[in-house]
Amino acid sequence: MSKRVRSREVCADCSAPEPRWASVNRGVLICDECCSIHRGLGRHSSQVRHLTHSSWPSSQLQMVQTLYGNGANSIWEHSLLDPSSSVSGKRKANPQDRVHPNKTEFIKAKYQMLAYVHRMPCREDDSVTAKDLSKQLHSSVRTGNLETCLRLLSLGAQANFFHPEKGNTPLHIAAKAGQMLQAELLAVYGADPGALDSSGKTPIDYARQAGHQELAERLVEIQYELTDRLTFYLCGRRPGHRNGQHFIIPQMADRIIKPHSLDLSEFAKAAKKKLQSLSNHQFEELAMDVYDEVDRRETDAVWLATQNHSTLVTDTTVVPFLPVNPEYSSTRNQGRQKLARFSAHEFATLVIDILTDAKRRQWGNSYSRHNSESQDNDQPDYDSVASDEDPVQEASCGDSCNDRRTKSSESSDLSDGPITVQEFMEVKSALTASEAKIQQLLKVNCHLSEELRMMQSKLNSLQTENTTLRWQTPGGQQHLQGPLGRHQPRGGRAMSMYETGSSPRQYPHRVESARHFLFICSSPVPASDTVEPGEEGEEDATLPCTEDVICKTEQITKNIQELLRAAQETKHESFLPCSEKICMAVTEMAALFPKRPSSETVRGSLCLLTSSASRLHGECQKAAEHNPCPSDIQLVTQQVIQCAYDIAKAAKQLVTVTTKENNN
């Protein structure tokens, strides 16, 4: 799209210039503020993607741009086009309106309530109306008029409607006519590329028979969209469907095993067994929920990477968990929201298990086609599940299965095909050896843990002694002498055993900052040891100047934006320098506050601020390792983004509390 056309683009919801996000299923472009509201609606209402930073299939992006250019927004604002709507109090949001409640209420009414969509005349039987609309959709997809089909879908037409007279679905017609953009629109609204017509042919078969090879390949990608998205989330790769490779199962580079914990291998086996025991319908629901969670996490990462530092610490920074879908049960909605609690490592393990079982069930579907002439219409996606422990059943599949087994032994471990008995025994032997090695490592780890506890105890005693020497004055009861037997000068402090030099030096600013940092991070040093003579360790209600806190917050968020930009551009070597800048800025901001704040909110925010900075520095050090694998980098990047968000959140809380208290 040319720059001249892009310059005329405005947000479909508030008319702000130069929108950077798109709602795929609504066919509109939206600005950052409106996008923050769309993300809170959930994917069932609006599927948002960034125009330049998100991963787009080219035909899908072209579909959205075509809909936007042809005025698809008028579908969702039909009643607002009537001049009498302004008289009745209805009006479109504008860029100057507040996000809450003005823009939020308008967008929810527009997309969730469909308050401004043109309604069909009421009829006694709603199912008849939906059937008529679906038949119109069936006829319209053979043309290139996208907005007509979107209007029919918005009114209730079914993308998977099976025409009783024609014996096929709208996607069959679009594939036969070579309508790539119509196929993209139908797929967004749930059309199945694997649906069968009355002759047992799929839309993919229709496209190939009509000579539309590019469309056929795109329909194959749509058919595997769920597993492809999960794979790309973990390792940044997609299967080569043109070469017959439909699954890639990434492997975790490391397994964190803690001593005195449950046997993780047994726990993993139990979890996988429970996953395999799910019915096809339950497994599909779980896979769709995990897909939505992947979309939420990736969209949050893009959101953080594209916002400037002045808007980073706002209420619309991230969506903390999946929004409620009213079409789902309360139990399922609760389970979907609990996915947000999974750490990056735990969530990656779940995604790998989903991919593994999806591949296993797909094999079962291919086997059943050889062994059964009838097909179960109740579970069209997977007919049966191949047994992992019955090689005799595999041997009875005939010559076709033998050919596939030969190809599997010659291809890589990521290719499709059944596993031979020899391969199974090799993997079993490798697992047995791994179990023995794990047990040996556990014993070594126990000894190391014991030594670590002893060293920690010694370190605590040394820190206590060092703190006593650091803060004791000549007027105290334990009067210390200098290294040459002379008393310390009045007003000075005793030299620590860890310092070098011929005479003691004073560091008032560094001492104050160090004492403050020790308090926030809850170090092993007792609080009483950090109080100077004459002080009783009372809580201090004074707070720093609001302007100073805001200045430090802007410095922190500016450094965070630099870090997120490096993450977006995959410049992992820049993680460590950026984290050092952030830690320095955090320390300077923490030094503005008193040693013992009386406000519990201030104490909690300071603790979150400093602990998140420490975790961020540790994660960035992992990224600096030599030649880390892609899955490790992906996990580290997710943790870095989460730490950056926690730092920004804590900084915002401190700004809010300081502003409120100083105004009072």
CB 372, CB 383: distance < 8 Å = yes
- Angle, CA of 123, 129 and 131, to the nearest 5°: 155
Record the tokens describing residue 637, joined without a space. 């990047």
CB 504, CB 488: distance < 8 Å = yes
CB 504, CB 495: distance < 8 Å = yes
Q: Of 137, 212, 53, give the one whose Cα is nearest residue 564.
A: 53
Burial (CB count within 10 angstroms: exposed 0-12, middle 13-18, buried 19+), residue 339: buried
Q: In angstroms, rounded to a whole number, what is the distance separating the alpha carbons of residues 260 and 334?
A: 31
Cα 92 to Cα 11, 81, 389, 451, distances in angstroms: 11, 10, 62, 67
Record the tokens describing residue 423, joined without a space. 């391969």
Record the tokens describing residue 573, joined without a space. 């070597």
pLDDT attached to residue 627: 63
Amino acid in position 633: I
Q: The tokens 């870095």 sit on which residue?
A: 640
Q: Is the peptide bond prior to 250 cis by the omega test (within 30 degrees of 0)?
A: no
pLDDT attached to residue 576: 86
Element (H, E) at 50: strand 48-50
pLDDT attached to residue 490: 37
In this structure, the number of other CB atoms found within 10 A of the CB of residue 411 comes to 14
Decide which of 1.10.10.10, 1.10.3720.10, 1.10.220.150, 2.60.40.10 is the CATH code for 3-112.
Answer: 1.10.220.150
Task: Write down the domain spans for the chain.
Answer: 3-112, 126-223, 264-419, 546-663
Q: In angstroms, rounded to a whole number, what is the distance separating the alpha carbons of residues 134 and 161?
A: 6
- Angle, CA of 161, 167 and 170, to the nearest 5°: 40
Residue ranges of the chain with per-residue pLDDT less than 50: 1-5, 87, 255-263, 312-313, 315, 366-417, 470, 472-536
CB 36, CB 18: distance < 8 Å = no
- Rounded to 10 degrees, the C-alpha dihedral 209/213/215/216 comes to 60
Q: In angstroms, rounded to a whole number, what is the distance separating the alpha carbons of residues 656 and 543?
A: 12
Q: In angstroms, rounded to a whole number, what is the distance separating the alpha carbons of residues 250 and 254?
A: 12
CA 278 to chain centre: 25
Q: Of 42, 54, 20, 32, give the one whose Cα is nearest residue 233.
A: 54
Cα 446 to Cα 258, 259, 433, 440, 453, distances in angstroms: 9, 6, 20, 10, 11
Decide which of 3.40.50.300, 1.25.40.20, 3.10.20.30, 3.50.50.60 is the CATH code for 126-223.
Answer: 1.25.40.20
Contacts 24+ apart (CB under 8 A), 295-301: 295/43, 295/47, 295/229, 296/321, 296/322, 296/340, 297/233, 297/347, 297/638, 298/54, 298/233, 299/39, 299/48, 299/49, 299/54, 300/641, 301/567, 301/568, 301/637, 301/638, 301/641
Helix 630-663 crosses helix 575-590 at what angle (to 10 degrees)? Answer: 20
pLDDT, one tens digit per residue, over 233-289 is 999 999 999 998 999 998 876 544 444 444 456 777 788 888 989 999 999 999 999
Residue 481: strand pairing partners = 487
- The sheet carrying 48-50 orders its strands as 28-30, 21-23, 48-50
Phi, psi of 22 (to 5 degrees): -135, 145
pLDDT attached to residue 521: 41
pLDDT, one tens digit per residue, over 426-456 is 777 777 777 777 877 777 777 666 666 666 6
CB 368, CB 376: distance < 8 Å = no
Please, what's the largest Cα pairwise distance for the chain? 107
Q: What is the pTM of this model?
A: 0.57
CATH class of 546-663: mainly alpha
DSSP 467-506: HHHHH--TTSSS--B-TTSPBPPTT--PPPTT--SSS---
Record the tokens describing residue 159, joined without a space. 């993308």
Q: In angstroms, rounded to a whole number, what is the distance separating the alpha carbons of residues 36 and 29?
A: 13
Task: Characterize the bridge pairing of strands 48-50 and 28-30.
Answer: unpaired
